[in-house]
Amino acid sequence: MTAFLLALASLCVSPLDQGAAVELRYTGALVKLDRESDGQAVKRFSLYCLVEKSASGGRDIAFLMDERGGGGWPWPERFGQITLGPKLQATNAAQLRLLQEHNGTNNSIRIPRPVFEFADKLQAGASWNNDSTGFEVKKVTKIQDRECWQVDVSTNFGRKRTLWVQKDSPLVVELEERLFMGQGEEYSLRMKLESVETLDDAKLAKVKAPLAMLLKLQADLARPENDQNPELNDAQLVKVTAVSDALEKAAEGTPFGRLAAVVSRDVKSQQQRTGELAQLGKKFLGQPAPEFMLKLLEGKPVTPADRAGKITVLHFWEYQGEPLVEPYGQVGYLDFLNSRRKKLGVQVYGVAVDVRFADKAQVVQAQRSVGKLKSFMNLGYPLVADDGDLIAQFGDPRRIGAKLPLWVVIGADGKVAHYSTGFYKINPDEGLRELDEVVVKLIQDAKKTSDSK
């Protein structure tokens, strides 16, 4: 009888209060709502959460998101920790998110937390507002053998989301949300709780060991918020390399094991690519630049004679008008550099790399796309078209897995003085400092040569 009463009592306790730490596992899908898709998911995902009680009376939620289909966040953005205060409101900026590619544009989709922050308001017929969002408790219903409050969430545009929150608990059991991407295309986001497990001290310690390493690594990388670039810089690669083996060992047999393996593979791949890029740069640096011709978008040619005696900056990038995705190839900073240095003998050329320039049937479409970007960014430096032949003369780093932009600086003496791939580290007050320092030195060298004659 005593055992029965204890078991009955445990059923009345919130799953989040049955121990110091609880593991939650969710699965979900993003479904396009139209006749053609026939209800098929364009993305599936799984969410792991470790929920711990904090000393302040709130909760810490460590999370790991795994996405399949339609793109996804780079590994440093797939995990994190949300800190909730005693009233279950977040006290830090970490968020649960998906990243869905739609017609060439990445859309960040926020996922509600598994711990409902307004649990103290849940009662029959309750309704309340939080800023511009309204909440209404509709009814009690059974979801997965759990008694749940059905909570409808609305904005000025109508009902946005429905949550099913376990009765007498802040635990979110299921959710469904309407969202739109592109030109008003409708999707349904669905997520449901698959399991709840209370961890004893030994299991908790095993899980927290790799988690602590991951959170420290994430902080050490200091990536910008919402960074969608999977590439790490040299300093970041060093930091990941220093811990990747230990992380993989500590994470074995835990929910973070798969992520640790991804980290290890990724850092080795990027290191190899970095080495190959360094060799590619060495091949060109200090050597006479290949003889090449440029053709402006308007059709006017730029000959070697036109560039003679000038410092030439070539910025190889797609220059696509759609989608317009930040940081826009850093062309805004490049335009600023051009405006400051062009009177000193510097000429910047934006090289729009697009295979469509080689196809008479698509060349006009390619020109329009580049023109749209030029107009949008109000660029003052000339743009030239490249169907792939010009960048091939400079090694085309895409062939070894790197991504554009490629930056090549040719001195007034005709030799390659700078060769770099990817985005520069930016301080808004300094712009493209690394590139500008190269250009300024070449300006000074050219002046010294001129003065000595």
- What is the third-level CATH fold of 15-199? outer membrane lipoprotein receptor (LolB), chain A (2.50.20)
Could you tell me what percent of the chain has a pLDDT over 70?
A: 96
**76 Cβ contact list (under 8 Å, min separation 6):** 217, 218, 221, 223, 227
Give me the chain's average pLDDT, please: 91
DSSP 8-state code for residue 256: T
3-state secondary structure of 179: strand
Q: Which residues of 340-379 are buried (b: 16+ CB within 10 A; e: fewer)?
A: ebbeebbbbbbbbbbebbeeeeeeeebbebbbebbeebeb
3-state secondary structure of 41: strand
Highest mean pLDDT among 208-217, 360-369, 398-407: 208-217
Q: Average of pLDDT values for 216-236?
A: 92
Domain limits, the chain:
15-199, 203-284, 294-452
Length of the chain: 453
User: What's the CATH class of domain 294-452?
Assistant: alpha beta
Say which amino acid occupies 276: E
Q: What pLDDT was estimated at residue 37?
A: 66
Q: Please, are residues 162 and 184 in contact by the beta-carbon 8 Å criterion?
A: no
Q: What pLDDT was estimated at residue 5?
A: 40
- CA terminus-to-terminus distance, the chain: 105
Peptide bond connecting 327 to the previous residue in cis, omega within 30 degrees of 0:
yes
**227 Cβ contact list (under 8 Å, min separation 6):** 74, 76, 77
**Shared fold status for 15-199 and 294-452:** no
pLDDT tens, residue by residue, 42-89: 999 999 999 999 888 889 999 999 999 989 999 999 999 999 998 888
Q: What pLDDT was estimated at residue 385?
A: 94
Q: Does the pLDDT value for residue 358 go beyond 60?
A: yes
pLDDT band at 136 (very low <50, low <70, confident <90, very high): very high
